[in-house]
Amino acid sequence: MIGAPHFLVVAALLFGLGLLGVLVRRNALVVFMSIELMLNAANLTFLAFARFPVRGRPSLDGHAIAFFVVAVAAAEASVGLAVVIAAFRSRGSINVDELRALRN
């Protein structure tokens, strides 16, 4: 029987992978994809808890939140990709390590 733990473990793994990606990868687009992975891991957690609640009865709250998160993430992606393009135009690179015009 597949239950909450399965979904939660998958979500935690996804979140960990995203976290690792943000910390390790240097390409801005890959970093951004990793952040999206983290958001989706949070979504999966919401859905798992809504379907298999720890206490109380299943509720629709988690499902509704997932929709909000998807909408917000889309808005964030549109602005974020524009920012990445602006950075690329001025630097010719989107490598996170090569951004060093601002230093102590």
Q: Find out whether 65 and 75 touch, Cβ atoms under 8 Å.
A: no
Are 94 and 28 in contact, with CB atoms under 8 Å apart? yes
Phi then psi dihedrals of residue 58, to 5 deg: -55, 140
CB atoms within 10 A of CB 10: 14
User: 7: closest CA among 35, 55, 30, 40?
Assistant: 40
String marking each residue 23-42 x if it binds other proteins according to CB under 8 A: -----x--xx--x--xx-xx
Choose which of 2, 60, 79, 97 interacts with other proteins (CB under 8 A): 79
The vertex-25 CA angle with 87 and 45, nearest 5°, equals: 105
**Quick check: 62 binds other proteins (CB under 8 A)?**
yes
Specify the residue, 10 or 65, whose C-beta has the smaller distance to other proteins.
65
The answer to the question of residue 20 lying near other proteins (CB under 8 A) is no
Residues that bind other proteins (CB under 8 A): 8, 11, 15, 18, 22, 28, 31-32, 35, 38-39, 41-43, 45-46, 48-49, 53-56, 59, 61-62, 64-65, 68-69, 72, 75-76, 79-80, 82-84, 86-87, 89-91, 96, 99, 101-102, 104
